[in-house]
Amino acid sequence: MNHFLDIHKTDPAALRTMIDSALAMKAARNGRPKGSPDDDRPLKDRMVALIFEKPSTRTRVSFDVGVRQLGGQTMVLSGKEMQLGHGETIADTARVLSRYVDLIMIRTFEEATLLEMAEHATVPVINGLTNRTHPCQIMADVMTYEEHRGPIGGRKVVWCGDGNNVCASFLHAAGQFGFDFTFTGPETLDPEDRFVAFARDKGSKVTIQRDPFTAVEGADLVVTDTWVSMHDPESAKERRHNQLRPYQVNEMLMSRAKPDSLFMHCLPAHRNDEATSAVMDGPHSVIFDEAENRLHAQKAILRWCLGL
């Protein structure tokens, strides 16, 4: 069963095939209307369930459009409106949905929910974000880097701010795609050891650097994300803003990166908190290509999961 649960659980050769396939599918659409199907419709007669237990704009729309471009159909389900939100177990939900649909994509809170879904589903399951990781986002980010600057292997990626779920998937990707990764942020918001250990074990150079200006020196790619994630308590907001303000990505910080460096943010952003509008709309920024590439990268993930 080809579940796409995390980047570190997926074979590097398969990850490479997905990136190349995503780039090829993007090129093949060549300016067509966005709702029109691809020439090739491998998901014809397939049904995909998209379950959301948290809000989403990009994941929801890009998966929905992507499945349709591949010729398939979707049903978008809110966890709250399902029996899942009223005490039915994840395992039973997985068994039932597997009788109706060909693939399940789920955005949820606990990593354990995703794993339980995958364990009991008899169709592939895709991780559309948990509190711990966000692998679809980072596949789009790797694709975006390579589309602008060529192979990501050996490059220096610097993460500024909270060592959150998106940061964790970047560490997995550092190990699998072979790039170096520097984290800069306060100690209390460091990425979990298990994510750092994975990248290091795979031979990636991982650096923790408290000074953001030193960290960004010579970066090929600078990345940040919201300071408060969907699963973080609202009460954490003020403290986090105070802790993270020195790690804001602004023009002064970007000037320490390589002149041809790129800036990424998975969005949604809080403009002028984690990154200034000058950077988000500036010459290094590829944030809207990243958002677009969710569509193409996920089409490649869907095809890989279904062996199509």
Closest approach, Cβ 291 to ligand NVA, in A, equals: 11
Question: Is 53 or 102 the residue whose CB approaches ligand NVA more closely?
Answer: 53
Indicate which residue of 68, 134, 172, 296 is catalytic.
134
Closest approach, Cβ 96 to ligand NVA, in A, equals: 27
* Catalytic annotation present for 167: no
From ligand NVA, ligand CP, none, interface partner of 178 (C-beta below 5 to 8 A by class): none
Indicate which residue of 136, 225, 248, 296 is catalytic.
225
* Catalytic annotation present for 64: no
Question: Is 51 or 129 the residue whose CB approaches ligand CP more closely?
Answer: 129
Query: H or E element: which one contains 168?
Result: helix 165-177
Instruction: List all residues 6 or more positions away from 280 whose beta carbon is below 8 Å from its beta carbon.
Output: 263, 265, 269, 271, 287
CA torsion sign for 193, 199, 205, 209 is negative
**Looking at 57, 89, 255, 277, which residue binds ligand CP (CB under 6 A)?**
57
Specify burial of residue 201 (Cβ count, 10 A radius: 0-12, 13-18, 19+): exposed
Closest approach, Cβ 144 to ligand CP, in A, equals: 12
Query: Is residue 182 near ligand CP by the rule CB under 6 A?
Result: no
The gap from C-alpha 50 to its chain's centroid, in whole angstroms, comes to 16
The interface region with ligand CP, picked from 52-60, 72-80, 87-95, 190-198 by CB under 6 A, is 52-60
From ligand CP, ligand NVA, none, interface partner of 248 (C-beta below 5 to 8 A by class): none
Instruction: List all residues 6 or more positions away from 202 whose beta carbon is below 8 Å from its beta carbon.
Output: 174, 175, 176, 178
From ligand CP, ligand NVA, none, interface partner of 229 (C-beta below 5 to 8 A by class): ligand NVA
CA torsion sign for 230, 120, 51, 300 is positive
Question: Is 189 or 267 the residue whose CB approaches ligand CP more closely?
Answer: 267
Indicate which residue of 8, 120, 294, 296 is catalytic.
294
* Catalytic annotation present for 141: no
Query: Is residue 65 near ligand CP by the rule CB under 6 A?
Result: no
Closest approach, Cβ 3 to ligand NVA, in A, equals: 20
Please give the Cα distance from 137 to 298 (Å, whole number).
Answer: 9
* Catalytic annotation present for 225: yes
Residues that bind ligand NVA in the complex, under the rule CB under 6 A: 164-166, 225-226, 229-230, 266
* Catalytic annotation present for 107: yes
Report the chain's C-alpha Rg in angstroms: 19
Instruction: List all residues 6 or more positions away from 195 whose beta carbon is below 8 Å from its beta carbon.
Output: 167, 168, 171, 172
- Quick one: residue 98, left, alpha or beta (phi over 0 = left, psi -120 to 50 = alpha)? alpha
* Catalytic annotation present for 162: no
Contact criterion met (CB below 8 Å) for 266 and 290:
yes
Per-residue interface string for the shown chain with ligand CP, residues 99-138, x marking contact by CB under 6 A: ------------------------------x-------x-
Interstrand relation of 206-208 and 221-224 (parallel, antiparallel or unpaired): unpaired
Please give the Cα distance from 249 to 287 (Å, whole number).
Answer: 13
Question: Interface residues with ligand CP (CB under 6 A)?
Answer: 56-59, 129, 137, 266-268
Active site residue ranges: 107, 134, 137, 225, 266, 294
